[in-house]
Amino acid sequence: MKYEILADRISILDKDDFNSKHILECGQIFRYRNIGENNYILFSGDKKAEIIETQNGYDIFSNDLLYFENFFDLKTDYSNIKQTLSCQNSTLALATKFGCGIRILNQAPFEMIISFIISANNNIKRIQSLVEKLSQKCGTDMGDFFAFPTEEQLLTLTIDDLKVMGMGFRAKYIFNTVKKLQGKNLQELSSLKTNELLAYLSTLDGVGPKVADCIALFAYHKMDCFPVDTWVEKIYNSYFATEILTNRTQIRKNLVGQFSNLSGYAQQYLFYYKRELDKNHIE
């Protein structure tokens, strides 16, 4: 994909492998705002970027362009990935066409851990609202937005504080996990193999197999992960199953078996495809 880094922006010269709506609304990121048409503001940790659609692509404005070059995974060739997936499976052919501009973001590990603990048995709209509340409650005031809280900032909250915010039964998970992560270098985990990483993440309160997969995928770019939630279970049984399965461990095993090191990509194209069809009441 063609792009260049200018003084004040990254200029994306492509609309096939980069689409702001697909990237932000496919469920991998919770802090963003639509500011009209295909233009968005998004936040990661204490950083902000604006995506503005241009005639031939998009401009990404930020005061940390290198961070967002990596964040948007700009060096990866997605056209090859889509091609490979399309050839493997007819549903993927439709899904990669539908969400052609999706890219798997490289997000901040701590933010992903807390956000996906909040995601358990919750809906995306509510997750977004809770993550925003958490940032406003104890994140650093950056002037025009609030940064996602640091470990130290979250340590100041009690379980009751989190419950009042609306975290419900997840309040104690967040509290316990933040305490456990105190002083932990989360970047170091990126050197672990996928299975080792998942094993460590699963020791955190509120992190089971599905949430661990999401963290490994969206914070550590582990593409041999296939998070299986209620939507993926529906997708599997609609398009992939030879027999109906409800055991998510088994569903994951089958899907990773099929898509191997492209699992993370496949999962996200399918997730976006199915949810948008459902939203628009299309079978």
Chain residues that interact with DNA, rule: CB under 7 A: 26-28, 119-127, 163, 166, 168-169, 171, 173, 202, 204-212, 214, 227, 229-232, 234, 247, 249, 267-268, 271, 275
Identity of the residue, 134 or 214, whose beta carbon is nearer to DNA in the bound complex: 214
Q: Of 228, 201, 233, nearest to 216 (Cα)? A: 201
Minimal distance, residue 191 CB to DNA, in Å:
23
The answer for residues whose C-beta is within 8 angstroms of residue 112's C-beta and 6 or more apart is 214, 215, 218, 219
Q: How far is residue 108's CA from residue 281's CA, in Å, rounded to a whole number?
A: 34
CB nearer DNA, residue 20 or residue 267: 267
Residue nearer to DNA on the CB measure, 12 or 198: 198
Q: Return the closest-CA partner of residue 113 out of 156, 164, 150.
A: 150
Q: What is the DSSP string of 123-176?
A: -HHHHHHHHHHHHHHHS-B-SSSBPPPPHHHHHT--HHHHHHHT-GGGHHHHHH
Rounded to 5°, the CA angle 141-142-143 comes to 95
Of the pair 178, 232, the CB lying nearest DNA is at 232
Residues 6 or more apart whose CB falls under 8 angstroms from that of 179 comprise 155
For residues 277 and 238, give the distance between their C-alpha atoms in angstroms, rounded to a whole number: 13
Q: Helix (H, G, I), strand (E, B), or coil: what is residue 4?
A: strand
Query: Which residue in the block uniquely carries the two structure tokens 């672990």?
Result: 192
Token pair of 200 as six digits: 């460590």
8 Å CB contact between 182 and 110: no
CB of 254 vs DNA, minimal distance in Å = 14
Q: Is the CB of 3 or the CB of 271 nearer to DNA?
A: 271
Could you give the 3-state DSSP secondary structure of residue 180?
A: helix
The residues carrying an active-site annotation are 210
Q: Which is nearer to DNA, 9 or 210 (CB)?
A: 210
> Closest separation between CB of residue 4 and DNA, Å?
29
